[in-house]
Amino acid sequence: MDEPNNVNNSMVLDFEIEDNNFKFASNISAALAKANLELQEIEDELTENIETIKKLTPECDKTDYILAVTSGLLCGILDIFLVGKPGESPVGDDITDKWFENRTKDFAELCGWNDKEGKLASAVKYLEEKFKIPYDQRGAGDAASGIFDLNPKNHHFKSLAHNPTLLGLFFSVLDQFNNTSHFVSEGELISLEDADGSFELCGGDNVSSKFFCAFVNWFGHLISDMSGSSGSKGRGMGIPSPLWSWANDIIVIKRKFNIPIHEFDKSLNEMAIRIYKEGYDTRFQAAQAIPVLINEMLVRLIYSIRRLVKYFTKTEKEDRTFTILWKTCEPFSNATVKRMLTVAHGTFCMMDVGDAIIQGLRISGGSVAECVMRINIIGVGRFTISLYGELKRGTKRCVTQENVYYLKRKRIVLDDYITGLTELAEVYDDKELISFVEDLKKSDMYKEAFEKTVLLANQRGVPKSKILESKDDIDIYFEEEMTNETKEKNKTSISAGGSASSD
């Protein structure tokens, strides 16, 4: 009973005649199995791509967008009225400045400072003495008084080693090893040799120890300067903003590589110094981060609460699991919350930049510095990151959609191919085709064709010993030829293997 089914499922798809042999490349059952395997691979890849598109596509509804815009508006108002600009910032004066003062005292206590009164000036002075450096010239009667416009209000910015950047660390280590000071002033890189005659870098003769001591001195001295110097009155001049410190770094890099310094570079550096003197330091930069952080946390919280309520509302109690709950509500890795963050930070930046432009025009008739002091650089940077993420996800989504389109077309072609093979299996039979070939070889037409070739050979004068008189002679001839060819191939393989071994 099984025999007919096996025969019917076997269809010759590739039939070739070589010499006196018949070759069957494949049959319909093998072709169907191969096609179904390929179809399964396409289905798996298609499912994976569709899932990727789903992850990259935000599923925000109108409420999500409204809440994101509302969050951006509220945090923008917070930034305008409570952060504002340096010197007029309730958040900066009452929160971040106090926070940095307390952290300076905590660090001093960690290093051994013990003052019953707990004054900030005492803690700063202690740290300055503990972490001595040779580049703390202030332009007030010291060795650097001759440097262009160096004074206690700008020496933290102009001194490269006071910048909280990688380049600042590099120049701090360099200055401590060589007892020098490096400054940037009016677009020039100025080096002061033998900056402090009493300075000596600890660490002995061990270079690694010296590097470690230089790093510790740089870090400790930055902490001491976060809330101003020991002799500062009032708020004092803290360390420069890490973002605006690059105004110095650009000039240094261009000088070292002999790249022309343009007026724009000088103007940018002068503006950075000006806003620093107005109080735009690391403390104010931290104050700017507060409304941006609140905006970030508020949007993520809104997203989680909405999904949490929806999950408990629509999911039956017996079907609830923590894994599905977390997957539904987590506000970190999905495209929906990222789109909401882009909208929220974009709204925040729109309000912040709009206020900065209006205040710049109203107060100083279009002063760029006044406008820049009010722009929340942290917010702009965060919004830029969101835009980059949107662009990256959009690009990947387009590429994946094209791949899905290609896979769907390929699946259609393969489905048609499988359908055709199935229909062929119901109509054709390999056994019948082979029987047809055998009958053809035994037919009168085949014999007549063979006799005509013998007659033609006689007419052309082919020697009798070379003429194959019967079909059996032909079969014997081709069998001998094939045997000889096989032997030659085996000899060639053996000789090649021997040569390879001798090599």
Pull the structure tokens for residue 140.
């007030």
pLDDT of residue 187: 84
User: Residues 420-446, buried b or exposed e (16+ Cβ, 10 A)?
Assistant: ebeeebeeebbeeeeeeeeeeeeeeee
Assess whether pLDDT exceeds 80 at residue 102. Answer: yes
CB atoms within 10 A of CB 128: 18
Phi, psi torsion values for 443, nearest 5 degrees: -80, 160
**Residue 263 CB burial class (10 angstroms; 0-12, 13-18, ≥19):** exposed
pLDDT value at 141 more than 70: no
d(CA 377, CA 229): 26
Q: Residues, the chain, total?
A: 503
- What number is the average pLDDT over the span 439-452? 70
- Weakest mean pLDDT among 92-101, 254-263, 443-452, 491-500: 491-500
Weakest-pLDDT range from 25-39, 181-195, 317-331:
25-39
What pLDDT is recorded for position 1? 43
Confidence at residue 7, expressed as pLDDT on a 0 to 100 scale = 42
Residue 394 has pLDDT above 90, yes or no: yes
Arithmetic mean of pLDDT, 476-502: 58
Tell me which residue of 132, 317, 159, 171 sits closest to 237, measured CA to CA: 159
Q: Do residues 280 and 86 touch, judged by C-beta distance below 8 A?
A: yes
Domain locations along the chain: 92-280, 443-502
pLDDT band at 9 (very low <50, low <70, confident <90, very high): very low
Q: What gap in Å lies between CA 139 and CA 212, rounded to an integer?
A: 29
The backbone region for 228, taken as left when phi is positive above 0, alpha when psi lies in -120 to 50, beta otherwise, is: left
The SS3 assignment for 18 reads strand
Strands 21-24 and 15-18: antiparallel
pLDDT per position as a tens digit, 407-436:
999 999 999 988 988 887 777 665 555 566
Confidence of residue 177 (pLDDT cuts 50, 70, 90): very high
Taking the C-alpha atoms of residue 483 and residue 462, their distance in angstroms, rounded to an integer, is 25
What pLDDT, on a 0 to 100 scale, did the predictor assign at position 422? 84
| pLDDT at residue 482 in the model | 59
- Is the pLDDT reported for residue 497 higher than 50? no
Going by the DSSP 8-state scheme, the letter that residue 160 receives in this structure is G
* pLDDT in the model for residue 493: 53
Give CA–CA dist 255/347, Å, rounded.
40
H-assigned helices in 330-441: 335-364, 368-374, 377-427, 430-441
